[in-house]
Structure 1
Amino acid sequence: MTGKTMMTLAALVLAAAPAAAQVPASPFSLEVRGRAAYPTGDFGEEDETGSGVETGWGGSVAGHFQVTPVLSVYGGYSFTRFPTDLGDLEAELEALGIDDASIDIDDTGFDAGLRAMVPAGGGSAFLRGGLVYHRADVQLSDDLEDAIGGILDPDELDSDWSLGWQAGAGLLLPLGPRLSASLGASYTSYEPRFGDDSGEFEVSGESDLTYASIEVGLEFRP
């Protein structure tokens, strides 16, 4: 074997080494996010008694599948709890002997959509948007549930499932070869419907459940 042939082989090995050492990135990733949620629109307004929905908290988990270097599809599950301020109603309930009166609104359901990413500095900027399939569950304190138990079934305060939409944007910052931190904001909107199948107690379109969120999370790519 001539020296020229050996040099050619050595050059080919050196050229192939970086590609062989590079582990192909998985198209799958798992993201876990926490959020602070701020009610907006009619959902965030106080009524004449001074009662209203306060800032909520929650989280979500989502799986991503990378379709192209820029675009991925995602699907997941989310939970957000909104406490309420009962305003003047709290004093009225205490006068009736209901000392521990509280109401929370739980927004739960499934999310699915698309996420587009572009390089930004040392990380990536992203836009995402899609559909939500959510419901609103009204959670009463034990004292309040006992007080109304003979008048109204608390389960009737839970809505049916409804379609809505969600959009968001943010940054994905690498922490290591497979782990990234995410920071972003999103907006969620859907119309919960309450009552029986006949729609007798259906809530009008003015009752849209809408909120803006600030989110932080971690994304792991196996």
Structure 2
Amino acid sequence: MRKSLFAGVALALAVVASDAAAQSPVPFSLEGRVDYAAPTGDFGDVMEEGHSFSGGVSVGISPGLGVYGSFSQTRFGTDLGEDGDNADAIDQGFSAGLTTALPRFAGVAPWVGVGAVFHQLEIGGNDDGIDEDIGFEVGGGLALSLARNVRLTPGVGYRRYATEVSGLGGLVESELDVEYFTAGIGLNIAF
């Protein structure tokens, strides 16, 4: 249900953005990112540091303002496996939001973004008892030109959403705030 909702929202944003982009000189761009992820709060108490891979698209709706959609997968280590074994925890899903470029300074273009995340947490390959939920993300960084339409985009971010986790055959339920900071680098290609 939530994936269908996200697909509908993403399609609506893409249609609106493409209409606006047709009237605006702001480009369409693709980006791939690799990030280090540091869990925080109660989530940090049970998860170890991890890494994230993501890919996304952005469409300009006016100069300096764009809408984006992306998919990310973040993998954390944990000792929550059966019999104390290590098990990976995977946070993955879609994001959609707005990004804006700030005024250039000395050839460097700062950027900030904010969006909604539609994510699910899976622990040890088992997603039973864990639901997907809607949360938010914020981020910022720099855009450094490598060529005419190619930019290196170092940045930092914060992602958070709450999910219900159940155990003992569904008898025990608790809410877990999935929250973590990221720091990494992306490669952005504008068309």
User: What TM-score bracket applies, with the shorter chain setting the length?
Assistant: 0.7 to 0.9
Tell me if 1:220 matches 2:186: no
1:104 aligns with 2:88: yes
Q: 1:72-98, CA deviations, whole angstroms, 9 ceiling, x for partnerless residues?
A: 110010000001246xx99xx48xxxx
Q: Structure 1 CA distance, aligned partners of 2:27 and 2:171?
A: 47
* Structure 2 unaligned residues grouped into runs of 5+: 1-23
Q: Is the 8 A contact 2:26 2:62 kept in 1?
A: no
Alpha-carbon distance in 1 for matches of 2:127, 2:187: 35
Q: Residue 79 of structure 1 corresponds to which residue in structure 2?
A: 73
**In structure 1, how many angstroms separate the alpha carbons of the residues matched to 2:173 and 2:79?**
24
For 2:70, give the aligned amino acid. Answer: G
Gaps of 5+ in 1: 1-23, 46-51, 95-100, 141-153
Q: Measure, in 1, the Cα distance between the counterparts of 2:184 and 2:105.
A: 19
CA deviation after TM superposition for structure 1 residue 194, in Å? 3.3
1:55 partner letter: E
Structure 1 residue 37 corresponds to structure 2 residue 37: yes
2:110 matches 1:121: no
* Separation in structure 1 between the aligned mates of residue 88 and residue 62 of structure 2, nearest angstrom: 41
Shift of 1:215: 1.8
Q: Percent identity?
A: 35
How far apart are residue 120 of structure 1 and its match? 2.6
CA–CA distance in 2 between the matches of 1:175 and 1:117? 17
Are 2:132 and 1:132 aligned? no
Residues 155 and 165 from structure 1, CA distance in 2 versus in 1: closer, same or farther, beyond 3 angstroms?
A: closer
* Letter of the structure 2 residue corresponding to residue 128 of structure 1: G
3-state SS in 2 of match to 1:174 = strand
Bigger-Rg structure (1/2): 1
Distance 1:174 1:25, change over 3 A: farther
Structure 1 residues 5-84: aligned runs within 5 Å: 27-45=27-45, 52-84=46-78
Q: RMSD between aligned alpha carbons?
A: 2.4
Aligned-pair distance for 1:192? 1.6
Q: Calculate the TM-score normalised by the size of structure 2.
A: 0.78
- 2: CA distance between counterparts of 1:171 and 1:106? 27
Relative to its length, the structure with more strand (as a share) is 2
Q: Which residue of 2 aligns with 1:209?
A: 178
- Summarize deviations over 1:114-137 as a string: whole Å, max 9, x none: 001022321210110010000001
